[in-house]
């Protein structure tokens, strides 16, 4: 049995529709158990990703109910309540003051959800807000999941395209390679470029941040030059900044010919907390050849493509527009494994294994920037601004997180022989 004073980590099953990922995978558990953390996994939490309860118990976890998982000192989720506002309501009464909740939260799009967790007095961390600094690279969940999304976007496009991707020279003649155009060269866009190139396509790409040109060319793709002033295009954390409608209109006019000549267009442009910019208009779609494919990775944030619909395939003049909103969940094994590594690194940054305490130290930039609620207050400046709360919150001094009072043992414990 675990030491009654040990901090516990709960892993509930995800309830967002279509979500197949799990916050911790069995291979991540030794990093927790060897430093004295007790792991409680809700029965069936990993089943959608192919991780059965037996695999968790084999690595030292306990299997219990949803209440057991939410009764832990620290709750790890893929989608916390603000990112799962409908189904997540059922879990709110399972939370308790001073409990740590860590996961993806969509905090800038749903600041009211953050405020609700603040009212419950939980200590809440949003993985989207982990700063993009060298020390936090292993914790960057947005990048790990976007990387998977960019790969899968090209695979989906290849499935929908009525052509082959690579050039082939055969006795019947030469088949030209497919032409792929990637709009937005962040992590997802770069992976989309790399994947399309591996499949043999000719790839072009564009981003409003001029410094991405070198990255595009390093992958063997061509950077589309657009003669517009993009010097102010870079925003917080390396993301693209929201541009004016006039800028977007002129950008669309200049890119229309490239879109029309493409077999596949992958759009990835998103601005944190804002509606995605429309990069491909209805007229641009109608200018593409029948059989062409567009995958709009921003469909869940309003869409980069004027005619896209979230989680639907729309056919317009023979052009297929795919609007997936959760591509990482379509490959849940590796998406869960990479996300689990992000959470492990994030939590261990706060956990002192020798003293077996977890300290929320806001002097640490990683902790300070990702902390969104604590002691009944919304603490993150950008989330507060979204709520109309402009006054800054005075951060309390570093405090250790105590273990909760001993609870009855979960339903299953120990290792499988």
How far apart CA 286 and CA 260 sit, in angstroms, is 8
- State the CB neighbour count (10 A cutoff) for residue 275: 13
From 43, 143, 145, 301, the catalytic residue? 143
What strands lie across the sheet with 313-316, from one edge to the other?
A: 222-223, 202-206, 179-183, 264-267, 293-296, 319-322, 313-316
From 3, 137, 249, 283, the catalytic residue? 137
Computed on alpha carbons and rounded to an integer, the radius of gyration of the chain in Å comes to: 23
Torsion sign across C-alpha atoms 342, 344, 347, 350: negative
From 6, 65, 132, 197, the catalytic residue? 132
- The token pair at 248 is 């977007």
295-323 pLDDT, tens digit per residue, is 999 999 999 999 999 999 999 999 999 99
Bridging pattern class, strands 319-322 and 293-296: parallel
In this predicted structure, what is the pLDDT of residue 245?
Answer: 74
Query: Which residue blocks in 120-210 are alpha helix, DSSP H?
Result: 141-160, 187-198
Say yes or no to pLDDT of 410 above 50. no
Say yes or no to pLDDT of 417 above 60. no
Chain mean pLDDT for the chain = 90
- Domains, the chain, in order of start with CATH, read 8-139+332-401 (3.40.50.720), 149-330 (3.40.50.720)
Please report which confidence band the pLDDT of residue 399 belongs to, taking 50, 70 and 90 as the band edges.
Answer: low
From 65, 239, 250, 395, the catalytic residue? 239
How far apart CA 29 and CA 53 sit, in angstroms, is 13
349-364 pLDDT, tens digit per residue, is 999 888 888 999 999 9
List residues bridging with 11 in a β-sheet: 41
Bridging pattern class, strands 371-374 and 377-378: antiparallel
Is there a catalytic annotation at residue 239?
Answer: yes
Average pLDDT of the residues in 39-44: 98
Burial of 232 (0-12, 13-18, 19+ CB in 10 A): exposed
80: nearest Cα among 30, 27, 141, 38: 141
- The token pair at 263 is 């077999």
Cβ-Cβ contacts under 8 Å for 210 (sequence gap 6 or more): 230, 231, 233
List residues bridging with 10 in a β-sheet: 40, 75
Residues shown for the chain: 417
How far apart CA 151 and CA 169 sit, in angstroms, is 26
Task: Specify whether the CB–CB gap between 260 and 287 falls below 8 A.
Answer: yes
Is there a catalytic annotation at residue 132?
Answer: yes
Is there a catalytic annotation at residue 339?
Answer: no
pTM, two decimal places: 0.89
∠88-93-96 over CA atoms, to 5°?
110
Say yes or no to pLDDT of 263 above 80. yes
113-166 pLDDT, tens digit per residue, is 999 999 999 999 999 999 999 999 999 999 999 999 999 999 999 999 999 999
How far apart CA 49 and CA 340 sit, in angstroms, is 12
How far apart CA 94 and CA 86 sit, in angstroms, is 15
List residues bridging with 143 in a β-sheet: none
Say yes or no to pLDDT of 6 above 80. yes
Say yes or no to pLDDT of 391 above 80. no
Is there a catalytic annotation at residue 308?
Answer: no
Helix (H, G, I), strand (E, B) or coil at 126: strand
308: nearest Cα among 324, 326, 284, 328: 324
168: nearest Cα among 194, 200, 195: 200
- The token pair at 404 is 């909760």
From 53, 68, 73, 140, the catalytic residue? 140
Helix (H, G, I), strand (E, B) or coil at 412: strand
Say yes or no to pLDDT of 271 above 50. yes
Which residue in the block uniquely carries the two structure tokens 């050039």?
167
- The token pair at 148 is 């998977």
């Amino acid at each position: 049995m675990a030491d009654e004073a040990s901090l516990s980590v709960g892993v509930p099953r995800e309830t967002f529709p279509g979500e197949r990922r799990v916050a911790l995978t069995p291979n991540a558990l030794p990093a927790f158990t060897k430093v004295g953390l007790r792991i409680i996994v809700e029965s069936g939490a990993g089943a959608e990703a192919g991780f059965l309860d037996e695999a968790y118990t084999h690595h030292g976890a306990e299997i219990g109910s949803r209440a057991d998982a939410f009764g832990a000192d620290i709750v790890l989720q893929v989608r916390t309540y603000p990112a799962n506002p409908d189904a997540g309501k059922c879990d709110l009464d399972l939370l308790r003051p001073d409990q740590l909740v860590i996961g993806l939260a969509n905090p800038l799009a749903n600041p009211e959800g953050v405020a609700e967790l603040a009212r419950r007095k939980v200590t809440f961390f949003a993985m989207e807000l982990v700063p993009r600094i060298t020390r936090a690279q292993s914790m960057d969940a947005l990048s790990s999941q976007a990387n998977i999304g960019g790969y899968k976007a090209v695979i989906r496009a290849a499935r929908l395209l009525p052509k082959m991707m690579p050039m082939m020279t055969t006795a019947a003649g030469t088949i030209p390679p497919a032409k792929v155009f990637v709009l937005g060269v962040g992590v997802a866009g770069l992976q989309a470029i790399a994947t399309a190139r591996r499949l043999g396509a000719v790839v072009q790409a564009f981003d409003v941040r001029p410094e991405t040109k070198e990255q595009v060319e390093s992958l063997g793709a061509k950077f589309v030059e657009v003669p517009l002033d993009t010097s102010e295009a870079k925003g917080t954390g390396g993301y693209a900044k929201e541009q004016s409608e006039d800028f977007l209109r002129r950008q669309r006019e200049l890119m229309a010919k490239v879109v029309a000549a493409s077999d596949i267009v992958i759009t990835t442009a998103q601005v944190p907390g804002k509606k995605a910019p429309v990069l491909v208009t209805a007229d641009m779609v109608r200018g593409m050849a029948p059989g062409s494919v567009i995958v709009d990775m921003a469909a869940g944030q309003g869409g980069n493509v004027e005619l896209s619909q979230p989680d639907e395939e729309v056919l317009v003049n023979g052009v297929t527009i795919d609007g997936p909103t959760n591509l990482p969940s379509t490959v849940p094994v590796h998406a869960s494994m990479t996300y689990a590594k992000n959470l492990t690194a994030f939590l261990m940054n706060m956990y002192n294994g020798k003293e077996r305490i977890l300290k929320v130290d806001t002097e640490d930039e990683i902790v300070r920037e990702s902390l969104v609620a604590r002691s009944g207050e919304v603490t993150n400046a950008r989330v507060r601004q979204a709520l109309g709360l402009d006054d800054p919150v005075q951060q309390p001094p570093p405090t250790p997180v105590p273990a909760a009072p001993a609870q009855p043992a979960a339903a299953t414990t120990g290792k499988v022989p």
